[in-house]
Amino acid sequence: MGPILILTDQARTKVLEVREGETDPELLALWVEVSGERDGAYTYTMELRPVSIASESDLVQNHDDLTVVIENSSIEKIVGATLDFGPAGMVMQNPNHPEPAPAFTERPEADLSGPVAQMIIAVLEEEINPAIASHGGRADLVAVEEDVAYLRLSGGCQGCGMAAATLSQGIEVAILEAVPEIKKVADVTDHASGSNPYFEAAKK
């Protein structure tokens, strides 16, 4: 098995040159550690420390007359990397990259404990949901922002071609009449993913 971290001759020569200016240079190793992340790449700390303080879990590599110590938690992040030295200084060429942060897809859950939110919930539970439950539908309050109530329709209402009419002609009217602080009701439902839409044949 080859070295976890490859050093070019230029990098090794530069480190040895710097090490010669230290006290007891032969006792010092180049310590390499992943110190963080920036712009989708790892950042590193590289410094000379006594090789004697390396723990059993750290990786110790010998590159001819230079010892390199890779801190334990950094080993997997550095496998296959190459340390080079050129006009820009020391450069770590690492095929490994940090895991991207998960995409933000959901807003934080809103606080529905306020009096306006509670009045809307009461309208939904006492008037709206009993009425639309006959075709498996349900309406839930998601958030209240200023004078707008945001609802999510589920069950038979999700994906229903008449969802907009149900909202504007029934649910919105009931909420606006019962809760004067609300001026608009918005639907945040993803109707494209509705798996149980309710369609009632038009009566002739």
Please give the sequence-ordered ranges of beta strands (E in DSSP) within 19-160, or none if there are none: 28-38, 41-50, 59-63, 66-70, 81-86, 89-93, 137-145, 148-155
Domain ranges of the chain: 5-93, 115-193
| Strand pairing class (137-145; 59-63) | unpaired
H or E element that contains 178: helix 172-178
Identify which of 39, 42, 30, 37 has the alpha carbon closest to the alpha carbon of residue 94. Answer: 42
Q: How many alpha carbons lie under 13 Å from residue 133 in its C-beta half-sphere?
A: 9
The confidence score (pLDDT) of residue 36 equals 84
On whether the CB atoms of residues 160 and 191 are closer than 8 A, the answer is yes
- Looking at the domain 115-193, which fold is it? GMP Synthetase; Chain A, domain 3 (3.30.300)
pLDDT tens digit sequence for 22-75: 999 999 999 999 988 776 788 899 999 999 999 999 999 999 899 999 999 999
The confidence score (pLDDT) of residue 30 equals 96
The confidence score (pLDDT) of residue 55 equals 94
Does residue 166 surpass a pLDDT of 90? no
Does residue 199 surpass a pLDDT of 70? no
Predicted confidence band of residue 102 (pLDDT cuts 50, 70, 90): very low
pLDDT tens digit sequence for 109-126: 678 999 999 999 999 999
On whether the CB atoms of residues 24 and 40 are closer than 8 A, the answer is no
Percentage of the chain lying above the pLDDT 70 cut: 78
Does residue 153 surpass a pLDDT of 60? yes
The confidence score (pLDDT) of residue 189 equals 64
The confidence score (pLDDT) of residue 165 equals 40
Average pLDDT, the chain: 80
* CATH class of the domain whose range is 5-93: mainly beta
pLDDT tens digit sequence for 2-12: 789 999 999 99
Looking up tokens 């009425």 gives 131
